[in-house]
Protein backbone atom coordinates (compact mmCIF):
# COMPACT_ATOMS: atom_id res chain seq x y z
CA UNK A 1 0.00 0.00 0.00
CA UNK A 2 1.46 3.36 -1.03
CA UNK A 3 2.31 5.89 1.65
CA UNK A 4 -0.56 8.28 2.33
CA UNK A 5 -3.17 5.92 0.83
CA UNK A 6 -6.39 5.73 2.92
CA UNK A 7 -8.89 2.90 2.32
CA UNK A 8 -12.37 4.11 1.49
CA UNK A 9 -14.99 4.25 4.29
CA UNK A 10 -17.03 1.54 2.56
CA UNK A 11 -14.13 -0.88 2.94
CA UNK A 12 -13.96 -0.19 6.71
CA UNK A 13 -17.68 -0.82 6.95
CA UNK A 14 -17.33 -4.08 5.03
CA UNK A 15 -14.48 -5.26 7.27
CA UNK A 16 -16.47 -4.43 10.43
CA UNK A 17 -19.53 -6.27 9.09
CA UNK A 18 -17.44 -9.32 8.27
CA UNK A 19 -15.92 -9.33 11.77
CA UNK A 20 -19.33 -9.07 13.46
CA UNK A 21 -20.92 -11.63 11.14
CA UNK A 22 -17.94 -13.94 11.51
CA UNK A 23 -17.99 -13.81 15.30
CA UNK A 24 -21.74 -14.54 15.38
CA UNK A 25 -21.30 -17.30 12.82
CA UNK A 26 -18.50 -18.88 14.88
CA UNK A 27 -20.61 -18.60 18.06
CA UNK A 28 -23.61 -20.11 16.33
CA UNK A 29 -21.51 -22.92 14.89
CA UNK A 30 -19.93 -23.58 18.29
CA UNK A 31 -23.36 -23.81 19.86
CA UNK A 32 -24.63 -26.14 17.17
CA UNK A 33 -21.53 -28.30 17.53
CA UNK A 34 -22.07 -28.68 21.29
CA UNK A 35 -25.73 -29.65 20.91
CA UNK A 36 -27.14 -33.11 20.65
CA UNK A 37 -28.65 -34.04 17.31
CA UNK A 38 -32.17 -33.80 18.72
CA UNK A 39 -31.53 -30.38 20.25
CA UNK A 40 -29.95 -29.12 17.03
CA UNK A 41 -32.96 -30.23 15.00
CA UNK A 42 -35.35 -28.50 17.41
CA UNK A 43 -33.39 -25.25 17.19
CA UNK A 44 -33.11 -25.28 13.40
CA UNK A 45 -36.82 -26.03 13.01
CA UNK A 46 -37.82 -23.28 15.44
CA UNK A 47 -35.63 -20.47 14.05
CA UNK A 48 -37.77 -19.77 10.93
CA UNK A 49 -40.86 -19.25 13.15
CA UNK A 50 -39.04 -16.77 15.39
CA UNK A 51 -38.11 -14.21 12.73
CA UNK A 52 -34.42 -14.54 13.59
CA UNK A 53 -31.61 -15.71 11.33
CA UNK A 54 -29.48 -18.70 12.22
CA UNK A 55 -26.52 -16.39 12.92
CA UNK A 56 -28.33 -13.64 14.87
CA UNK A 57 -27.53 -14.71 18.42
CA UNK A 58 -28.95 -11.56 20.08
CA UNK A 59 -32.29 -12.05 18.31
CA UNK A 60 -32.38 -15.70 19.31
CA UNK A 61 -31.63 -14.83 22.93
CA UNK A 62 -34.47 -12.30 23.17
CA UNK A 63 -37.09 -14.22 21.19
CA UNK A 64 -39.82 -15.64 23.45
CA UNK A 65 -41.32 -17.42 20.43
CA UNK A 66 -38.05 -19.25 19.79
CA UNK A 67 -37.71 -20.29 23.43
CA UNK A 68 -41.26 -21.64 23.50
CA UNK A 69 -40.88 -23.53 20.22
CA UNK A 70 -37.57 -25.08 21.22
CA UNK A 71 -38.79 -26.04 24.70
CA UNK A 72 -41.93 -27.67 23.31
CA UNK A 73 -39.90 -29.63 20.79
CA UNK A 74 -37.36 -30.74 23.42
CA UNK A 75 -40.14 -31.86 25.78
CA UNK A 76 -41.85 -33.98 23.15
CA UNK A 77 -38.97 -35.36 21.10
CA UNK A 78 -35.77 -35.22 23.15
CA UNK A 79 -34.41 -36.58 26.41
CA UNK A 80 -34.15 -34.60 29.64
CA UNK A 81 -30.38 -34.51 29.24
CA UNK A 82 -30.79 -33.00 25.76
CA UNK A 83 -32.93 -30.26 27.27
CA UNK A 84 -30.41 -29.60 30.04
CA UNK A 85 -27.54 -29.41 27.53
CA UNK A 86 -29.53 -26.98 25.38
CA UNK A 87 -30.29 -24.80 28.41
CA UNK A 88 -26.61 -24.67 29.35
CA UNK A 89 -25.52 -23.69 25.83
CA UNK A 90 -28.24 -21.06 25.59
CA UNK A 91 -27.27 -19.63 28.99
CA UNK A 92 -23.62 -19.40 27.94
CA UNK A 93 -24.41 -17.70 24.61
CA UNK A 94 -27.01 -15.31 26.03
CA UNK A 95 -25.24 -14.63 29.35
CA UNK A 96 -28.20 -15.71 31.47
CA UNK A 97 -28.22 -15.10 35.21
CA UNK A 98 -26.25 -17.45 37.43
CA UNK A 99 -27.94 -16.26 40.63
CA UNK A 100 -28.61 -18.96 43.23
CA UNK A 101 -30.97 -19.02 46.23
CA UNK A 102 -30.19 -22.56 47.33
CA UNK A 103 -28.72 -21.33 50.62
CA UNK A 104 -31.77 -19.13 51.23
CA UNK A 105 -34.05 -22.13 50.66
CA UNK A 106 -32.05 -24.18 53.13
CA UNK A 107 -32.11 -21.43 55.80
CA UNK A 108 -35.85 -20.75 55.46
CA UNK A 109 -36.75 -24.43 55.61
CA UNK A 110 -34.50 -25.02 58.64
CA UNK A 111 -35.87 -22.06 60.60
CA UNK A 112 -39.52 -22.90 59.92
CA UNK A 113 -39.07 -26.57 60.72
CA UNK A 114 -37.12 -25.69 63.88
CA UNK A 115 -39.96 -23.46 65.09
CA UNK A 116 -42.49 -26.18 64.32
CA UNK A 117 -40.54 -28.85 66.21
CA UNK A 118 -40.13 -26.53 69.22
CA UNK A 119 -43.87 -25.91 69.54
CA UNK A 120 -44.75 -29.59 69.16
CA UNK A 121 -42.22 -30.55 71.84
CA UNK A 122 -43.63 -27.90 74.20
CA UNK A 123 -47.10 -29.26 73.49
CA UNK A 124 -46.04 -32.82 74.30
CA UNK A 125 -44.42 -31.72 77.57
CA UNK A 126 -47.56 -29.80 78.53
CA UNK A 127 -49.82 -32.76 77.76
CA UNK A 128 -47.61 -35.16 79.72
CA UNK A 129 -47.59 -32.83 82.72
CA UNK A 130 -51.36 -32.45 82.70
CA UNK A 131 -51.92 -36.11 81.70
CA UNK A 132 -54.27 -35.07 78.90
CA UNK A 133 -52.62 -36.78 75.93
CA UNK A 134 -55.45 -37.25 73.41
CA UNK A 135 -56.26 -38.11 69.80
CA UNK A 136 -55.36 -34.67 68.46
CA UNK A 137 -51.87 -34.98 69.96
CA UNK A 138 -51.21 -38.26 68.16
CA UNK A 139 -52.37 -36.68 64.90
CA UNK A 140 -50.08 -33.68 65.27
CA UNK A 141 -47.08 -35.90 66.09
CA UNK A 142 -47.77 -37.89 62.90
CA UNK A 143 -47.91 -34.59 61.01
CA UNK A 144 -44.55 -33.55 62.49
CA UNK A 145 -42.90 -36.87 61.56
CA UNK A 146 -44.15 -36.54 57.99
CA UNK A 147 -42.88 -32.95 57.96
CA UNK A 148 -39.46 -34.32 58.89
CA UNK A 149 -39.47 -36.36 55.68
CA UNK A 150 -40.43 -33.23 53.74
CA UNK A 151 -37.64 -31.26 55.44
CA UNK A 152 -35.04 -33.90 54.50
CA UNK A 153 -36.29 -33.79 50.91
CA UNK A 154 -35.93 -29.99 50.88
CA UNK A 155 -32.36 -30.16 52.20
CA UNK A 156 -31.42 -32.75 49.59
CA UNK A 157 -33.08 -30.65 46.86
CA UNK A 158 -31.06 -27.60 47.88
CA UNK A 159 -27.87 -29.66 47.72
CA UNK A 160 -28.80 -30.84 44.23
CA UNK A 161 -29.31 -27.28 43.06
CA UNK A 162 -32.91 -26.34 43.83
CA UNK A 163 -32.89 -22.55 44.15
CA UNK A 164 -30.60 -22.19 41.12
CA UNK A 165 -31.51 -21.91 37.46
CA UNK A 166 -31.85 -25.12 35.51
CA UNK A 167 -28.76 -24.40 33.42
CA UNK A 168 -26.65 -24.43 36.60
CA UNK A 169 -27.61 -28.03 37.49
CA UNK A 170 -25.32 -31.00 37.20
CA UNK A 171 -26.22 -33.88 34.92
CA UNK A 172 -29.02 -36.02 36.36
CA UNK A 173 -29.89 -33.51 39.11
CA UNK A 174 -33.18 -32.38 37.54
CA UNK A 175 -34.67 -35.88 37.60
CA UNK A 176 -33.86 -36.32 41.29
CA UNK A 177 -35.20 -32.87 42.19
CA UNK A 178 -38.50 -33.54 40.42
CA UNK A 179 -38.81 -36.88 42.20
CA UNK A 180 -38.31 -35.17 45.57
CA UNK A 181 -40.89 -32.54 44.62
CA UNK A 182 -43.35 -35.33 43.87
CA UNK A 183 -42.77 -36.82 47.33
CA UNK A 184 -43.05 -33.38 48.92
CA UNK A 185 -46.40 -32.66 47.26
CA UNK A 186 -47.92 -35.87 48.62
CA UNK A 187 -46.55 -35.20 52.12
CA UNK A 188 -47.91 -31.64 51.97
CA UNK A 189 -51.47 -32.93 51.50
CA UNK A 190 -51.07 -35.52 54.26
CA UNK A 191 -49.65 -33.03 56.78
CA UNK A 192 -52.30 -30.45 55.95
CA UNK A 193 -55.10 -32.99 56.42
CA UNK A 194 -53.68 -34.32 59.71
CA UNK A 195 -53.15 -30.82 61.13
CA UNK A 196 -56.68 -29.65 60.37
CA UNK A 197 -58.17 -32.91 61.64
CA UNK A 198 -56.18 -32.43 64.87
CA UNK A 199 -57.66 -28.98 65.42
CA UNK A 200 -61.22 -30.22 64.87
CA UNK A 201 -60.60 -33.16 67.24
CA UNK A 202 -59.50 -30.61 69.83
CA UNK A 203 -62.81 -28.78 69.34
CA UNK A 204 -64.68 -32.07 69.85
CA UNK A 205 -62.92 -32.73 73.14
CA UNK A 206 -63.27 -29.22 74.50
CA UNK A 207 -66.92 -28.66 73.57
CA UNK A 208 -68.08 -32.18 74.47
CA UNK A 209 -71.17 -30.87 76.28
CA UNK A 210 -72.63 -29.04 73.25
CA UNK A 211 -74.23 -31.65 70.91
CA UNK A 212 -75.13 -29.24 68.05
CA UNK A 213 -71.56 -27.96 67.93
CA UNK A 214 -70.22 -31.53 67.99
CA UNK A 215 -72.38 -32.44 65.00
CA UNK A 216 -70.98 -29.44 63.13
CA UNK A 217 -67.45 -30.60 64.00
CA UNK A 218 -68.09 -34.07 62.59
CA UNK A 219 -69.37 -32.53 59.36
CA UNK A 220 -66.24 -30.36 59.11
CA UNK A 221 -64.05 -33.37 59.88
CA UNK A 222 -65.60 -35.22 56.95
CA UNK A 223 -65.12 -32.13 54.78
CA UNK A 224 -61.41 -32.26 55.63
CA UNK A 225 -60.71 -36.00 55.36
CA UNK A 226 -62.71 -36.98 52.26
CA UNK A 227 -61.26 -34.32 49.91
CA UNK A 228 -57.82 -35.05 51.36
CA UNK A 229 -58.09 -38.72 50.39
CA UNK A 230 -59.26 -37.85 46.87
CA UNK A 231 -56.53 -35.24 46.31
CA UNK A 232 -53.83 -37.63 47.57
CA UNK A 233 -55.07 -40.30 45.17
CA UNK A 234 -55.11 -37.83 42.24
CA UNK A 235 -51.62 -36.59 43.12
CA UNK A 236 -50.07 -40.06 43.44
CA UNK A 237 -51.54 -41.16 40.11
CA UNK A 238 -51.19 -37.81 38.35
CA UNK A 239 -49.01 -39.48 35.69
CA UNK A 240 -49.11 -42.86 34.00
CA UNK A 241 -46.75 -44.45 34.70
CA UNK A 242 -46.12 -42.74 38.07
CA UNK A 243 -42.39 -42.34 37.26
CA UNK A 244 -43.29 -40.15 34.28
CA UNK A 245 -43.86 -37.26 36.74
CA UNK A 246 -40.09 -36.93 37.23
CA UNK A 247 -38.68 -38.90 34.31
CA UNK A 248 -39.90 -37.55 30.98
CA UNK A 249 -37.62 -39.89 29.07
CA UNK A 250 -40.27 -42.57 29.60
CA UNK A 251 -43.33 -42.94 27.44
CA UNK A 252 -46.40 -41.75 29.30
CA UNK A 253 -48.83 -38.94 30.01
CA UNK A 254 -49.92 -36.71 32.90
CA UNK A 255 -53.19 -35.08 33.81
CA UNK A 256 -53.19 -31.34 34.49
CA UNK A 257 -51.26 -31.29 37.78
CA UNK A 258 -51.76 -27.53 38.06
CA UNK A 259 -55.54 -28.00 38.03
CA UNK A 260 -55.28 -30.63 40.79
CA UNK A 261 -53.11 -28.27 42.84
CA UNK A 262 -55.64 -25.45 42.42
CA UNK A 263 -58.51 -27.71 43.52
CA UNK A 264 -56.54 -28.74 46.59
CA UNK A 265 -55.77 -25.11 47.48
CA UNK A 266 -59.44 -24.19 46.97
CA UNK A 267 -60.45 -26.81 49.53
CA UNK A 268 -57.62 -25.66 51.84
CA UNK A 269 -58.81 -22.04 51.82
CA UNK A 270 -62.43 -22.96 52.56
CA UNK A 271 -61.39 -25.43 55.29
CA UNK A 272 -59.16 -22.83 56.97
CA UNK A 273 -62.01 -20.34 56.98
CA UNK A 274 -64.44 -22.85 58.52
CA UNK A 275 -61.94 -23.96 61.19
CA UNK A 276 -61.22 -20.35 62.20
CA UNK A 277 -64.88 -19.31 62.38
CA UNK A 278 -66.32 -22.53 63.84
CA UNK A 279 -65.56 -21.92 67.56
CA UNK A 280 -65.75 -18.11 67.55
CA UNK A 281 -69.38 -17.85 68.64
CA UNK A 282 -68.96 -20.53 71.33
CA UNK A 283 -65.85 -18.95 72.81
CA UNK A 284 -67.06 -15.37 72.72
CA UNK A 285 -70.19 -16.21 74.69
CA UNK A 286 -68.32 -17.88 77.53
CA UNK A 287 -67.77 -16.05 80.79
CA UNK A 288 -64.23 -14.87 80.06
CA UNK A 289 -62.44 -11.68 80.99
CA UNK A 290 -60.84 -9.40 78.42
CA UNK A 291 -57.37 -10.87 78.93
CA UNK A 292 -58.55 -14.34 77.94
CA UNK A 293 -60.43 -13.00 74.94
CA UNK A 294 -57.33 -11.11 73.81
CA UNK A 295 -55.31 -14.33 73.99
CA UNK A 296 -57.90 -16.15 71.92
CA UNK A 297 -57.86 -13.29 69.43
CA UNK A 298 -54.06 -13.54 69.11
CA UNK A 299 -54.29 -17.30 68.62
CA UNK A 300 -56.85 -16.92 65.86
CA UNK A 301 -54.77 -14.15 64.27
CA UNK A 302 -51.82 -16.53 64.04
CA UNK A 303 -54.18 -19.06 62.54
CA UNK A 304 -55.09 -16.37 60.03
CA UNK A 305 -51.44 -16.30 58.92
CA UNK A 306 -51.82 -19.86 57.71
CA UNK A 307 -54.98 -18.80 55.89
CA UNK A 308 -53.13 -15.91 54.23
CA UNK A 309 -50.23 -18.23 53.31
CA UNK A 310 -52.70 -20.58 51.62
CA UNK A 311 -54.09 -17.71 49.54
CA UNK A 312 -50.63 -16.44 48.57
CA UNK A 313 -49.64 -20.00 47.67
CA UNK A 314 -52.45 -19.97 45.10
CA UNK A 315 -50.56 -17.32 43.14
CA UNK A 316 -47.39 -19.40 43.06
CA UNK A 317 -49.33 -22.37 41.66
CA UNK A 318 -49.40 -20.72 38.24
CA UNK A 319 -45.79 -21.88 37.78
CA UNK A 320 -46.52 -25.42 38.97
CA UNK A 321 -46.16 -27.90 36.12
CA UNK A 322 -43.85 -25.59 34.16
CA UNK A 323 -40.63 -27.51 33.56
CA UNK A 324 -38.78 -24.79 31.63
CA UNK A 325 -36.95 -23.66 34.81
CA UNK A 326 -38.59 -25.47 37.77
CA UNK A 327 -35.62 -25.27 40.13
CA UNK A 328 -35.95 -21.48 40.09
CA UNK A 329 -39.64 -20.81 39.42
CA UNK A 330 -40.84 -23.21 42.15
CA UNK A 331 -39.04 -21.34 44.97
CA UNK A 332 -42.09 -19.23 46.05
CA UNK A 333 -44.28 -22.34 45.95
CA UNK A 334 -41.95 -24.20 48.31
CA UNK A 335 -41.66 -21.18 50.63
CA UNK A 336 -45.41 -20.61 51.04
CA UNK A 337 -46.16 -24.32 51.29
CA UNK A 338 -43.77 -24.55 54.25
CA UNK A 339 -45.21 -21.41 55.88
CA UNK A 340 -48.74 -22.79 55.52
CA UNK A 341 -47.86 -26.11 57.14
CA UNK A 342 -45.78 -24.57 59.94
CA UNK A 343 -48.47 -22.02 60.81
CA UNK A 344 -51.12 -24.74 61.02
CA UNK A 345 -49.07 -26.94 63.36
CA UNK A 346 -47.98 -24.01 65.54
CA UNK A 347 -51.57 -22.76 65.94
CA UNK A 348 -52.77 -26.22 66.96
CA UNK A 349 -50.11 -26.24 69.71
CA UNK A 350 -50.82 -22.78 71.17
CA UNK A 351 -53.44 -23.72 73.80
CA UNK A 352 -51.25 -26.48 75.26
CA UNK A 353 -48.15 -24.28 75.14
CA UNK A 354 -50.06 -21.53 76.95
CA UNK A 355 -50.88 -23.91 79.80
CA UNK A 356 -47.23 -24.96 80.05
CA UNK A 357 -45.95 -21.38 80.08
CA UNK A 358 -48.56 -20.39 82.63
CA UNK A 359 -47.45 -23.17 84.94
CA UNK A 360 -43.82 -22.22 84.47
CA UNK A 361 -44.41 -18.56 85.33
CA UNK A 362 -46.66 -19.53 88.23
CA UNK A 363 -43.90 -21.69 89.71
CA UNK A 364 -41.36 -18.96 88.99
CA UNK A 365 -43.49 -16.31 90.71
CA UNK A 366 -44.19 -18.65 93.63
CA UNK A 367 -40.49 -19.30 94.11
CA UNK A 368 -39.78 -15.58 94.02
CA UNK A 369 -42.57 -14.88 96.54
CA UNK A 370 -41.45 -17.62 98.93
CA UNK A 371 -37.87 -16.37 98.81
CA UNK A 372 -39.08 -12.91 99.90
CA UNK A 373 -41.75 -14.13 102.36
CA UNK A 374 -40.79 -17.55 103.73
CA UNK A 375 -43.86 -17.65 106.00
CA UNK A 376 -46.28 -17.26 103.07
CA UNK A 377 -48.21 -20.24 101.77
CA UNK A 378 -50.68 -20.61 98.95
CA UNK A 379 -54.40 -21.10 99.32
CA UNK A 380 -56.96 -21.18 96.54
CA UNK A 381 -59.04 -18.04 96.17
CA UNK A 382 -62.76 -18.44 96.78
CA UNK A 383 -64.62 -17.76 93.54
CA UNK A 384 -67.71 -18.81 91.70
CA UNK A 385 -66.99 -22.10 89.98
CA UNK A 386 -68.16 -22.40 86.37
CA UNK A 387 -69.92 -25.46 85.08
CA UNK A 388 -67.77 -28.48 84.16
CA UNK A 389 -67.92 -27.97 80.36
CA UNK A 390 -67.31 -24.25 80.66
CA UNK A 391 -64.46 -24.85 83.09
CA UNK A 392 -62.75 -27.17 80.56
CA UNK A 393 -63.03 -24.57 77.83
CA UNK A 394 -61.78 -21.75 80.06
CA UNK A 395 -58.81 -23.78 81.27
CA UNK A 396 -57.84 -24.78 77.75
CA UNK A 397 -58.20 -21.40 76.09
CA UNK A 398 -57.21 -18.99 78.78
CA UNK A 399 -58.35 -19.97 82.24
CA UNK A 400 -56.11 -20.50 85.20
CA UNK A 401 -56.48 -21.28 88.87
CA UNK A 402 -55.80 -18.09 90.80
CA UNK A 403 -54.17 -18.28 94.21
CA UNK A 404 -53.69 -15.90 97.12
CA UNK A 405 -50.69 -15.44 99.37
CA UNK A 406 -51.89 -15.41 103.02
CA UNK A 407 -49.56 -15.25 105.99
CA UNK A 408 -49.80 -17.76 108.87
CA UNK A 409 -51.10 -15.08 111.25
CA UNK A 410 -53.92 -14.26 108.85
CA UNK A 411 -54.74 -17.97 108.57
CA UNK A 412 -54.94 -18.33 112.34
CA UNK A 413 -57.18 -15.30 112.70
CA UNK A 414 -59.41 -16.41 109.85
CA UNK A 415 -59.70 -19.95 111.21
CA UNK A 416 -60.55 -18.65 114.72
CA UNK A 417 -63.24 -16.33 113.38
CA UNK A 418 -64.79 -19.13 111.30
CA UNK A 419 -64.78 -21.46 114.37
CA UNK A 420 -66.53 -18.79 116.48
CA UNK A 421 -69.11 -18.20 113.74
CA UNK A 422 -69.73 -21.95 113.54
CA UNK A 423 -70.28 -22.21 117.32
CA UNK A 424 -72.67 -19.25 117.27
CA UNK A 425 -74.60 -20.79 114.38
CA UNK A 426 -74.98 -24.09 116.25
CA UNK A 427 -76.20 -22.28 119.36
CA UNK A 428 -78.78 -20.39 117.33
CA UNK A 429 -80.01 -23.64 115.76
CA UNK A 430 -80.21 -25.30 119.17
- 407-415: long-range contacts, CB 8 A cutoff, minimum separation 24: 407/373, 407/375, 407/376, 408/375, 408/377, 411/377, 411/379
Instruction: Check residue 418 and give its pLDDT.
Output: 45
Find the range with the poorest average confidence among 39-43, 125-129, 383-387: 383-387
Mean predicted confidence (pLDDT) in 278-301: 72
Distance CA 400, CA 397 (A): 9
Per-residue confidence at 16, pLDDT binned at 50, 70, 90?
very low
Mean predicted confidence (pLDDT) in 50-62: 79
Instruction: Check residue 351 and give its pLDDT.
Output: 84
Instruction: Check residue 31 and give its pLDDT.
Output: 54
Percent of the chain surpassing pLDDT 90: 28
Topology given in CATH for the domain delimited by 101-364:
Rhopdopsin 7-helix transmembrane proteins (1.20.1070)
372-428: pLDDT as tens digits: 555 444 444 444 444 445 555 545 554 443 333 333 344 344 444 444 444 444 444
Residue 420 C-alpha from the chain's centroid:
66
Residue 197, φ and ψ in degrees, nearest 5: -65, -35
Mean predicted confidence (pLDDT) in 348-353: 87
Beta-bridge partners for 414: none
Instruction: Check residue 219 and give its pLDDT.
Output: 96
Please determine, for residue 19, whether its predicted confidence score (pLDDT) is greater than 50: no
Percent of the chain surpassing pLDDT 70: 72
Distance CA 326, CA 334 (A): 11
Please determine, for residue 314, whether its predicted confidence score (pLDDT) is greater than 50: yes
CA-wise closest residue to 289 among 405, 386, 356: 386
Instruction: Check residue 319 and give its pLDDT.
Output: 67
Instruction: Check residue 78 and give its pLDDT.
Output: 87
Instruction: Check residue 40 and give its pLDDT.
Output: 83
Distance CA 37, CA 34 (A): 9
Instruction: Check residue 286 and give its pLDDT.
Output: 67
Mean predicted confidence (pLDDT) in 167-174: 89
Instruction: Check residue 364 and give its pLDDT.
Output: 66
Per-residue confidence at 97, pLDDT binned at 50, 70, 90?
confident
**Virtual CA dihedral for 284, 286, 289, 290, nearest 10 degrees?**
0
Instruction: Check residue 56 and give its pLDDT.
Output: 77
Following DSSP, what letter does each residue of 134-160 receive, concatenated?
-HHHHHHHHHHHHHHHHHHHHHHHHHH
Amino acid sequence: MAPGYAPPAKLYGLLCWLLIFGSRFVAAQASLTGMSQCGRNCLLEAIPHSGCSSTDVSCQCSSAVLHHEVFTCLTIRCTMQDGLDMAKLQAADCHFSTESKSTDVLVVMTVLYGVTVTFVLLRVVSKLMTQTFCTEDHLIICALLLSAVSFVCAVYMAELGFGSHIWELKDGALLRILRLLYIGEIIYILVLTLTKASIVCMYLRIFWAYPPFQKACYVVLGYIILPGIVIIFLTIFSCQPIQYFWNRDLTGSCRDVTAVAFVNSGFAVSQDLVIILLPVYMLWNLNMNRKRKVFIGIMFAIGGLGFVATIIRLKSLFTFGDLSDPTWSYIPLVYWTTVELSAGIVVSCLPAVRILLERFFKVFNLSATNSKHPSAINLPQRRTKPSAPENLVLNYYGGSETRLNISRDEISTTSLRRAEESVEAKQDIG
